[in-house]
Chain A
Amino acid sequence: EDQVTQSPEALRLQEGESSSLNCSYTVSGLRGLFWYRQDPGKGPEFLFTLYSAGEEKEKERLKATLTKKESFLHITAPKPEDSATYLCAVQAASGGYNKLIFGAGTRLAVHP
């Protein structure tokens, strides 16, 4: 069964304290891995798509990386405005092109 697991469930950082969020997956053929940011009371906002192991993408203080078993979202020198829930989703070959499997998310709180 295709699965996506995110860890930790919650993370508290001081402003400027870099860290990483993990998304591990077991799927039958990865077509794509997606990262989203979700603020309270809002819908998820697209961040990155990664397609193959070794691929990396960056946006401001965020950097996403992908291996054959997991993805990391690295947050460098975070600011309070980076506080949000970060969601990981995968598209598996078994699910067809239109089905994403989402993890439960990591709630990030960055304190000044």
Chain B
Amino acid sequence: NAGVTQTPKFRVLKTGQSMTLLCAQDMNHEYMYWYRQDPGMGLRLIHYSVGEGTTAKGEVPDGYNVSRLKKQNFLLGLESAAPSQTSVYFCASSPYSPGRGSSNYGYTFGSGTRLTVV
């Protein structure tokens, strides 16, 4: 059972280049999320999806786009990379929205993509 798989694991981009990060989950989860993690800061939500064909903006969406054409995949695109987008990107999925009810569950995270923009 793979869980959440992110590709690639590492990438170096030049300023202005574009790229797509792929997230795939095999748990049939409805909810999927993209976060970025920077030193000294908490994980920050970029975009999220509550089901196939849906997307919504998170806390820091500027410079990123997403698509969820298939339930199991959530793509994060960088249109024109900037050095400020150097970060570690994490994808996560959940069967339900957190905080609903008393179930003891949380997000399942992928292992991350380390992106450097030079």
Contacts and interface: CB of A to CB of B under 8 A. Distances in A.
Nearest to B59: A99
B84 interface: no
Contact of B98 (A44, A47, A100, A103): A100
B98 A91 contact: yes
A42 B113 CA distance: 10
Contacts, number: 73
Contact of B106 (A46, A98, A103): A46
Contact of B45 (A45, A87, A100, A105): A100
Nearest to A48: B104
Interface in B69-103: 90, 92, 97-100, 102-103
Main secondary structure of the interface of A (DSSP, over half): strand
B58 interface: yes
Range class of the A interface residue count: 20 to 34
Contacts of B41: 104
Given A51-B102, A98-B50, A104 B42 contact: yes
Contact of B112 (A31, A42, A89): A42
A98 B31 contact: yes
A44 B109 contact: yes
A51 B99 contact: yes
A97 B106 contact: no
A49 to B, nearest CB: 5
Contact of B111 (A34, A43, A47): A43
Given A32-B98, A51-B102, A91-B99, A103 B108 contact: no
Interface of B: 4, 31, 33, 35, 40-45, 48, 50, 56, 58-59, 90, 92, 97-100, 102-112
Given A46-B105, A46-B106, 7 more contacts: A31-B98, A44-B43, A44-B107, A47-B106, A49-B104, A97-B98, A104-B40
21 contacts: A32-B99, A34-B98, A41-B111, A43-B112, A44-B90, A46-B106, A46-B107, A46-B108, A48-B104, A49-B98, A49-B103, A49-B106, A51-B99, A87-B43, A91-B98, A98-B31, A98-B48, A99-B59, A102-B42, A102-B43, A102-B44
